[in-house]
Amino acid sequence: MSDRVISFIQPSRNNLKYLQWSYNSIRKNLGYRHEICWADDFSNDGTWEWMQEIAEKDKNVRIHRNEGPTRLGHTILYDTLVDMATSDIVMIYHADMYACPGMDEAVLDKLTKGSVVSATRIEPPLHPDGPEKVLKDFGIEPEEFDEQGLLSWINEERPEKYTRGIFAPWAMYKEDFLAIGGHDPLYAPQSKEDSDIFNRFVLAGYDLRQTWQGFVYHMTCRGSRFADGAKRNPDGQVFMKNRETDEWLKQNQRSTRNFIRKWGHFVKHDSYMMPIIPPKYNIGFVVENCGLEALQELEPWCSDIYGDWVGHKGFHVNKYIEDEQPNTDFKLSKRIHSQHMNPTNDIVVHIDCQYLNHQNFQMLTQLPEILEEQGEIGEFELDVFSVKVKNLKTYEKDLIVCKK
């Protein structure tokens, strides 16, 4: 048995029954040597009272509360708890995860400085299958959890392999986590903060490993996304589609737009959840006939956008900035320019928005890959767009350290 100790990092908001289920699994299957760090994000379901009761009895539990009234989200609270953790090793761990016996030792066996090690998820069929996880139904709520069925399956299924990729639960040395600045508060309260930090792990040279000797059972997406839990239809089939909360949908849209602003692309990874990171270029869009709808679509995909906005069909660019600025930390007044002349960006794309449609817009979203493949200074036509490449310098490595 390894003598190393893990600090489990578990924020929670109105997730009491899942958190109780998760805590019991850690203590039952992994023992009491590991530290558990909890944050209650202004819950109203008795979570904080229960945490206090447990912390009185279990001296290896550390607790923190956001007193509200505003939700902070796990993007912020993960880092709050990492700072609180007293162990050298931290594990980002969701409140709806059951720790299977031996999970800790399997992770520690693969963990070294400069690496990040994930356990393998076993999940009920709530989301599409993939080679990075096991899709098997041992229950969708704690009330119907088939613990014995899961443990029997685990005893027979421990393949001697590991793959490269990352998804919670993941563990690393606290020193390595702090070295890149932790999670980016740009994504608070939640959504895309994990994809952002995974990209930064890769760019920092960390080795992303997934062990198939250690498992968690993951009920998935409880809390803000599916606030009323999972359900089955009369035939016993699980369904989650189109049941997301309005809160989650709106925040996911905000975080997606901020991810694009920062990285210049959608979240990308291979089938084992290993991040794929296209180059980050300094791209400017010079636009004509650009109204509100086109600006909303185009603005996140460039470093700067230049246009003659005055009097365009009653559209006022300052109104867009005023409405959108609360959704991002990027200073939109410095990204949106009210003139066409002399853009200073390395790559300049001329766009007449009257010809913009869904099909050619997709080409703009793939521009980093196109530029990487072409790899030449000069000018070219891309469907209805004119592209001038002055410099192919890339900036993705400037994003490794989160500047809070």
pLDDT tens digits, one per residue of 256-298 = 999 999 999 999 999 999 999 999 999 999 999 998 999 999 9
**For all residues of the chain together, what is the average pLDDT?**
93
Q: Is the pLDDT of residue 55 over 80?
A: yes
Order of strands, edge to edge, in the sheet holding 304-307?
A: 336-337, 304-307, 283-288, 347-352, 385-389, 378-382
For residue 72, is pLDDT > 90?
yes
Q: pLDDT tens digits, residue range 223-262? A: 655 555 666 666 666 665 556 778 878 999 999 999 999 9
Lowest mean pLDDT among 8-12, 82-86, 137-141, 336-340: 336-340
Confidence of residue 142 (pLDDT cuts 50, 70, 90): very high
pLDDT at 161: 85
> CA torsion 227→30→7→70, rounded to 10°?
20
The arithmetic mean of pLDDT across residues 61-89, rounded, is 97
pLDDT of residue 245: 76
| 24-37 tens-digit pLDDT | 999 999 999 999 99
**DSSP label at residue 217:** E
Give the pLDDT of residue 247.
83
- Note the pLDDT of residue 220: 81
pLDDT surpasses 80 at 347: yes
pLDDT tens, position by position, 168-186: 999 999 999 999 999 999 9
Q: Is the pLDDT of residue 44 over 90?
A: yes
Q: Which two tokens stand for residue 201?
A: 């792990």
Helix (H) or strand (E) holding 170: strand 170-173
Query: Residue 171 and residue 8: Cα distance in Å, rounded?
Result: 9
Share of the chain above pLDDT 70, in %: 93
- Tokens at 286, concatenated: 């010079």
